[in-house]
Amino acid sequence: MNLIDVAVKRPVTVWMFTLAVLLFGFVSLSRLSINLLPELSYPTLTIRTDYIGAAPGEVEQLVTKPIEEVVGVVKGVRKVVSASKAEQSDVVLEFEWGTEMDLASLEVREKLDVLFLPLDVKRPLLLRFNPSLDPVMRFGLGAVSKQASAQVIDQASMQAKSLVAMDIDTTKRIRTYAEEEIKRKLESIEGVASVRIGGGLENEVQVLIDQQRTSQLNIPISEIIQRLKDENVNASGGRVEDGAQEYLVRTINQFESLDDIRNLYIATREGKFIKLNDVAQIVDSYKERDSITRFNGFEGVEIAVYKEGDANTVDVANAVTRRLESIRNSLPGNYELQKVYDQSEFISSAIDEVKSAAVVGGILAMFILYFFLKNIWATLIISISIPVSIIATFNLMNSYDISLNIMSLGGIALAIGLLVDNSIVVLENIDRHKKNNVDAMQAASIGTSEVSMAIVASTLTTMAVFFPLVFVEGIAGQLFSDQALTVAFALLVSLIVALTLIPMLAARDQSHVTVATQDNELDLGPHFKKDKPSGKARRFLWYLGAPLRWIFKTIFYFIPAVTVGFIVSLFRIVSSGLSWLFKPALWAFDKIYDALSVTYFKLLDWVMQARLVVLTAIISVSLFSILFIPKLGIELIPPMSQGEFDVEITLPTGSRLENTDELLSQLAIFTQQQEGVERTYSLAGTGSLMNASPAQGGDHWGKLNVVMSDAASVEQEQQVIGAMRAYLTNVAGIQSKFGAPALFSFSTPLEIEIIGYDLINLKRYGDVLAEELGKNNRFADIESSLQSGNPELKINFEHSKLAQLGLNAPDVSKLIATKVGGEIASKFSVDDRKVDILVRSQDRQRDSVADIGQIIVNPGASPAIPLSAVADIVMSVGPSEISRVNQQRVVLVSANLAYGDLGGAVIDAQQAIDNIQLPITLQANVAGQSEEMKASFKSLYFALALAVFMVYIVMASQFESFLHPFLILFTVPMACAGSIYGLVLTGTNVSVVVFIGLIMLAGIVVNNAIVLIDRINQLRQSGVAKSEAIIQAAQSRLRPILMTTLTTVLGLLPMAIGLGEGSEIRTPMAVTVIFGLLFASLLTLFLIPVLYSLFDRKQFKHVAVSGENSAMPRVTAAQEPSHG
C-alpha cells in the first residue's frame, strides 16, 4: 500500500497528521524573530586606530602603512582600503564573499597583537559593518520650557530656539540623568543588548596649571600629575585582632570634594608647603565636547537602543516603548523625551504589506479556481493547500533559523500562486475519473497515482533552481537565501499535501458519483452501543465505567459529528448562495472560456499543419526581445524608500564644532518648513559614533536625519531632497552627500579611484575629474577625498639647543602634549560615579598660536626657556585625508545619482575619465557599487545556467529521455523574452532582484510543458497515435495549464502592483515572473506540440496505426465537458 492509498483509506490518520503539523506550525511561528532583512554578514573588517595630535601624513607613515603590511597577507583578503586623517587611521579589509568572518577576525587580531606602533598610538579597534547592529530605536532627551514647546514653529522662532544652546549645568544634568536613570532602566529589558548615550556634556574636574607660577616654584607638571595619582587612593592595611574582635584596617585618602583637591600639598619650597590651589585653578567643568545633537532644533542628548542579535526587533521596540511611558511620568518638570527613530515601525509596515499581498493573492487565486471549477467544495479542497503549506513551512523556517522578514515573507507571497498548482493537476485528474462514474475512493487513488510523477517532477524542477543560489556571491546570495529556502519549503509541503490531503478530501466528495446508499448517513449507534460482557466481575466493571465511556464518546464522537454536520449544512447554504451570486459572472466566464478553447483548438490544427512557419515565428518573436536589452537600466539593488533620509555635511577641515552645528541648525530650520517633513535629528561632530565607515569623523563633519510623515509620498521626499540640495549649493566651501539608512551596502553608488603617489598631482586631477562629472546632470553630491586646508602647526626642534639645555625631543613633545591637550591624572568619585581629573595649562596660556611658543619646556629649572627658543613653529596647510587602495595612494571621487541607473552612470563616468586625459603616472578605474554589481551579476549568470541544467537533470530522470527535457527547455528562453518585454513596458531596471526572478522562472515555466508532454506520453502508451495524442493532450491539459498559470499570476499581482513599504524589492521580481510566465505559457500551448511532432521519434508499445483507428477517440472542443 503506497502513500496515496494510505491517505485515501485512512482519513483520520491524515487529519491527525495535518492537525499536528498545523499545531507545531503555529508554535514555530510564535518563536520566529521579526526583522526587516535576513541576517547579512558583510565580508569587511575595519581597523580604527587613534593617534592623538598626529597629522594625516604622520598617521599614514607611522600607523596606516604598518597595519596594511601585516594584515594584507591575511587569508581571503581581496582588497585593502585605508584613510589616514588627522588623529585617526581607518584600514578597511574587504574579504572574498563566503569568508568565515569570525575566523578572519581572529587572524587579524593575531596580526595586530604582534605589531609595534608608536607608544602614543592607542590600541587598534576592530569594527564590523552590519546594518543589523545599528540601533533599533533612538530617543532625544532635552530640557525645554513648556512655553517654547507650545510655540508654533515658524522660521523666526525656530531659528531662535535652534541656535540658543542650553546652559552648561542643564546640559550636564541631562547627560547624567540619561546615563544614571534612563540607561539603567532600558538595559534591564529583555532583548536589549546595550544603550549608548551621545551628546550633552560629560562631567570633568579640570586642574588648570599656571605654567608661569610653576616655573617660578620649579614644580614640573609631571610632579603634579604624579601627586594626584598617589594621594587619591584608598588602600587596605590588613587586619587587627583585639581580644575576640577582629578589625579591618583601611587608609582613606580618596578625594571627597573639590576642596580636597585644592588643598593637596604638592611640594615644599623654602620651608613653605605649596598647595595645588597655589599654582592651578581647580574647576568643576566638562570634557571637551566632540559632538552636538539636536532634535527638531533643540539641543539634547541622544539615547540609542541596541538589541541582542537574536532578539525580535518588534518585540524589543514595543517593550522599550512601554518602559519609556513610565519613565516619562517620572521625568523632571522641564525634561522632554521624544522618539527620533524606530526601526520597528518600518519593519511592521513592510511585513504587513507583504502579508496583505499574500492574502490578496491567495483570495484572487481562489476566485479564479472557483470560476474554473464552478464547485465551491472542489475550490476549497484545492485552496486548503495554501494555508496548510504556509503554516507547515513555519516549522522548517524555525528549524533552519529563518526569521520573518520581507524576504522570507516575500517568498511565501511568491509561492501563493504556486502552492495550488499540484493540487489543481491532482483534482483535475481525479475529477476526470469521477465523470466516468468511477467510485470516488478509486478515482482519488487512480487519479492521483497517474499524475504523481508529473507533479513530483514539476515540483522538483521548481525547487532545483534554488540550489545554484548557494554559488551566488555578493549581497544577492545572502539577501535571497531566505526567500529561496522559504519558497522551496512551501513547494515541498504543497507536494505532500497534493499527494495526501487532496485525494483524501476528493474521495469524500460524491458529487460526480451516481450511486448513493443509506450507508452515507450518520450513524452514531455503534459508538454508543456495545454488548455487555459476560461474568459478574466484568459486568460490574462495565457498569462502573459506563459514565466515563459516555463522557468520552460524547466529547470525541457526538460533539464532533454534530459540529461537522452543522458545518456541512452551513457549507451547502453558502455554496448555494455563492452559486446564485456569481451565476452571471460564471455564465460570462464560461462563454469566454468556450470561445477561447474553440479558438485554441482551431489554431492548434492550423499550427500542426504549418509547424516550421510557426516555429520560425516563435523563435523570431523571442529573439526580437534582445534588441530591447540595451534600453534596460542596470542597478545593483533597487533603492528602497524608508520614509527617511539623511544628508552628510563636510565643512572645510579645521572648522570648529560650533560652526558645523550652526550650519546644521540652519539647514534643519529650512527643512522643517518643507511639506511632509515630520521631524529632524542632527549630529555635529563624530562624538561616540562607532561606525565602520571611514568617511565619517571630525568636528567639521555633521549629519542631518530627516523623517517624513506617514502621509508623505516618495515624490514629496524627492522634492524635499531637491530643495535641500538647492539650499546647500548657496553655502560656499562645503560638501554634501544625501543617502538613506544603510541596508545593503555602505559604498557610494559611484566611486572613481585615481591611483598614484604624488599628492599634489592626485589632488589636481581629482578636482579636475570632479569638475568633469559635475557637467553631467546625472551626478550629484560629487566630492573628492583629497582636500587641502587642514591647518597644522609644525614644530621643528633645534636639536643642538635642546642638547645644550639637557633636553631631548621626546620629553619636550610629551610636555607639549600634556600642557595643550592635557592628561588624565586620576578619578574623582561623585555619587557612585567616576569623574576624570584632567591636568593641563590654563586656557589663556594656550588660546592662540603665539601662546604655544611661550610654553615653558624646562619646568623646574632656571631660567625658564620658552618653546620658541628651541624650535621653529610654522603654520602650514596639509591634506585633510590620505586614501590608499591595496597599499597605493589614491584619490576617491564619489558621487550619488540624481537620476538614471548605475549601468549608465558607469558608462558616463568612464567617458569623463577619458576626457581629462590622465598622465602616465596616474591611472583611474570605476569602483563603488559597480564592483559589487559586476561580481553579483557574474555569479548570477552562472547560477541561471546551473539552474537550467538542474531542471534538465530532474526532467531527464522523470521522462527517462534526453530529448523531451530538451524540448521543454525551449520554454525558458521564451520566458526570458517575456520578462524583457515586461521590464521594458513597466520601466523596471535590471538588478539582482530581476535575476533571482529569472532563476525562479526557469523552474516554474517548465511545469506546463512537463504536464503536457507527460499526458502525450500516457496517451501514446495507451495506443494513441502521436499526432492524435498531441491534440488530445492539448485538449485535456488546456484548462489545468490555464488554471495554474492564472493562479500563479494573480497570486503575484499584488506584489507586482508595488504598494506599501519595501515594495521596491518585491515588485521587480513579481513583474519578471508574471510577464515571463504569461508569455511562455501562451507560446507553450503551440510550441511544445510543434517541437514534439517534429523531433520525437520514440516508439511506444501498442501504438495505433492512425489517428482514426486510435484506441482513444479524439475529443473536440464542443464535446469537452463543462465542470458544472
Name the residue ranges covered by the structural domains of the chain.
1-31+375-518, 43-128, 131-200+289-347, 203-286+791-879, 643-648+655-740, 949-1124
Q: Which amino acid does the sequence have at 625?
A: S
Q: Which three cell numbers stand for residue 842?
A: 590654563
Q: What pLDDT sits at residue 624? A: 92
- Residue 404 DSSP symbol: B
pLDDT at 1082 over 80: yes
Radius of gyration of the chain (CA): 38
Report residue 738's pLDDT band, with 50, 70 and 90 as the boundaries. Answer: confident
- The angle formed by the CA atoms of residues 327, 329 and 332, to the nearest 5 degrees, is 90
CA dist., res. 671 & res. 684, Å (int)? 16
Asked if the bond preceding 547 is cis, omega within 30° of 0, the reply is: no
Q: In this structure, what are the phi and psi dihedrals at residue 196, rounded to the nearest 5 degrees?
A: -110, 140
Distance, CA of 1097 to CA of 1115 (rounded, Å):
24
- 1107 versus 766: which is more confidently predicted? 766
Q: What angle do CA 153, 154, 158 make, to 5 degrees?
A: 65
pTM of the model: 0.76
The per-residue pLDDT for 109 is 92
981 pairs with which residues across the strands? none
| Distances from the Cα of 881 to the Cα of 88, 334, 763, 836, 892, angstroms | 10, 43, 11, 31, 11
pLDDT digits (tens, 9 = 90+) for 784-793: 888 766 677 7
| Predicted local confidence at residue 422, as pLDDT | 85
Say what the pLDDT of residue 549 is: 66
Residue 745 has pLDDT above 60, yes or no: no
Alpha-carbon distance 608 to 1090, whole Å? 6
Would you state the pLDDT for residue 565?
A: 66
Task: Give residue 689's pLDDT.
Answer: 52
Could you tell me the CATH superfamily of domain 949-1124?
Multidrug efflux transporter AcrB transmembrane domain (1.20.1640.10)
pLDDT digits (tens, 9 = 90+) for 242-294: 777 888 887 788 888 888 888 888 888 777 888 888 888 888 888 888 888 88
Distance CA 231, CA 243 (A): 33
Are the C-beta atoms of residues 137 and 305 closer than 8 Å to each other? yes
Inform me whether the pLDDT recorded for 690 exceeds 70: no
Q: Which amino acid is at 277?
A: N
666/670 Cα distance (integer angstroms)? 6
The percent of the chain in helix, strand and coil, each rounded to the nearest 5, is: 55, 20, 25
Give pLDDT tens digits for 717-726: 888 988 998 8
Distances (CA, A) of 178 to 331, 468, 747, 791, 1034: 11, 50, 34, 36, 73
Q: How far apart are CA 206 and CA 839, in angstroms?
A: 6
User: Highest-confidence range of 318-327, 477-486, 955-964, by mean pLDDT?
Assistant: 318-327
CATH class of 643-648+655-740: alpha beta
817-876 pLDDT tens trace: 777 877 888 887 777 778 888 888 877 666 677 778 788 877 766 777 888 888 888 877
**What SS3 state is found at 274?**
strand
Phi, then psi, of 115 in degrees rounded to 5: -90, 135
CA 29 to chain CA centroid, nearest Å = 20
pLDDT band at 620 (very low <50, low <70, confident <90, very high): very high
CATH of segment(s) 203-286+791-879:
3.30.2090.10
- Per-residue confidence at 514, pLDDT binned at 50, 70, 90? very low
- Give me the sign of the Cα torsion angle 505, 507, 509, 512: positive
The 3 state secondary structure assigned to 27-75 is HHHHHCCECCCCCCCCCEEEEEEECCCCCHHHHHHHHHHHHHHHHCCCC
Mean confidence (pLDDT) of the chain: 81
Q: How far apart are CA 611 and CA 625, in angstroms?
A: 22
- Residue 568, SS3 per DSSP: helix
What ranges make up the beta strands (E) of 595-676? Answer: 644-650
pLDDT of residue 846: 66
For residue 209, the cross-strand partners are 280, 841
Asked whether the domain spanning 203-286+791-879 has the same topology as the one spanning 131-200+289-347, the reply is no
Class of domain 1-31+375-518: mainly alpha
Q: Determine how β-strand 203-209 pairs with β-strand 833-841.
A: parallel
CATH number of the 43-128 domain: 3.30.70.1430
Q: State how far the alpha carbon of 545 is from the alpha carbons of 238, 540, 542, 615, in Å.
A: 79, 9, 5, 77
Residues 6 or more apart whose CB falls under 8 angstroms from that of 769 comprise: 752, 754, 784, 893, 912, 913, 916, 924
The three-class DSSP label of residue 827 is strand
CB burial of residue 1064 (10 Å; 0-12, 13-18, 19+): middle
What is the share, in percent, of the chain residues with pLDDT greater than 70? 86
CA distances from 571 to 363, 579, 789, 1018 (A): 18, 12, 80, 37
Q: Provide the 10 A C-beta neighbour count for residue 722.
A: 14
**3-class secondary-structure state, position 155:** helix
The predicted structure's pLDDT at residue 1: 55
Q: Report which of 593, 584, 598 is spatially closest to residue 372, judged by C-alpha positions.
A: 593
Q: In whole angstroms, give the CA distance from residue 916 to residue 765.
A: 8
pLDDT at 131 over 80: no
At 1-32, the pLDDT tens digits run 578 888 888 888 888 899 999 999 999 998 88
CATH 3.30.70.1320 fits 131-200+289-347, yes or no: yes
Grid cell, residue 85, equals: 586623517
Lowest-confidence segment of 62-71, 449-458, 727-736, 842-851 by average pLDDT: 842-851
Residues with Cβ within 8 Å of 611's Cβ and at least 6 positions away in sequence, in order, are 1090, 1093, 1094
Q: Model confidence at 62, in pLDDT bands (50, 70, 90)?
A: very high
DSSP tag of 182: I
CB 449 within 8 A of CB 500: no
The percentage of residues in the chain with a pLDDT greater than 90, rounded to a whole number, is 9
Which pLDDT tens digit goes with each residue over 536-586? Answer: 666 666 666 677 767 766 666 666 666 766 666 666 676 666 667 777 887
Helices (H), 420-558: 421-435, 440-464, 474-479, 481-499, 501-507, 525-528, 536-544, 546-553
Residues 782-801, mean pLDDT to the nearest whole number: 78
pLDDT class of 686 with cuts at 50, 70, 90: confident
Residue 1060: pLDDT above 80? no
Nearest to 108 by CA among 48, 39, 42: 48
Higher pLDDT among residues 492 and 786, named by residue: 492
